[in-house]
Structure 1
């Protein structure tokens, strides 16, 4: 095989999509040798180096830093959790987990409501979601969130609301008058005159 045929064969192995020139019409022309894994590895390395030269890897997260350690045995779905955090996806938790999350912040949500009727409706809706999640047959994590008693929640809401209004309505203590005999903060200490 002459040197030109070798170069064409090597070029074909590196880039199989390149145009092949059929210079000889005889059937004796040798077919290019099959691609070897080493050739594919070289081609991939060349593509990576070219992308690095173009700067396509410059702004990647953790550039120049070690990758964070991930304990895959303790956290098998680590990639899914990271994806949800990175893309800020909400509302995709299984209902049992979403109920736990909502249960943790329910008091804050109730405190933002202005009427007892709205508090009752919010607690009723929350309880309905718990009952519906317990009835579903789709599997997933168990529903461990407890139902909320409407009367208890309304009483707690009233108590929290009363404390908030007392805290805002308590007047600040008036400063004590500073006179000769008062010992308030900032008043000078009495001095004794001693005879020599």
Structure 2
């Protein structure tokens, strides 16, 4: 079959109808493939680096640039609540009294319950409301541990400061013997 010629009726070029856009796209593709084979696109400046595409054709360019400039990130409620749950203990540790802690836990639980009553948008919501009493107890335990550690550290610093002052003043009271060299 290699040496045989195919009849013209098998591959008649006029049997296909192409519009002008398709012909232009096929010609462009053919020229690009030949250029790649020749190596015309090898070692171009900026090769392997991300493209900085303009937002000129994007209708939401202003909102996207504002969010990027201000560092805003809008996540689906399920993801945002996961992040908030992970950061809640650190946030509670910044508060000084139990009333403020209870208020913060109530706000978090309200957001979780509100998200549970909404139609899901994004990944499933797996965050559960916090048990207020258990969270307050854990907060109080962490607070007590921090204050105990701070007292222990303050005592240690006071002792070391006292020792250094005593050592300084002890050295002042001593007289050094004078050595005379005999000549």
Bigger RCO of structures 1 and 2 (CA < 8 A, at least 6 apart): 2
- Normalising by structure 1, report the TM-score: 0.46
- Normalising by structure 2, report the TM-score: 0.49
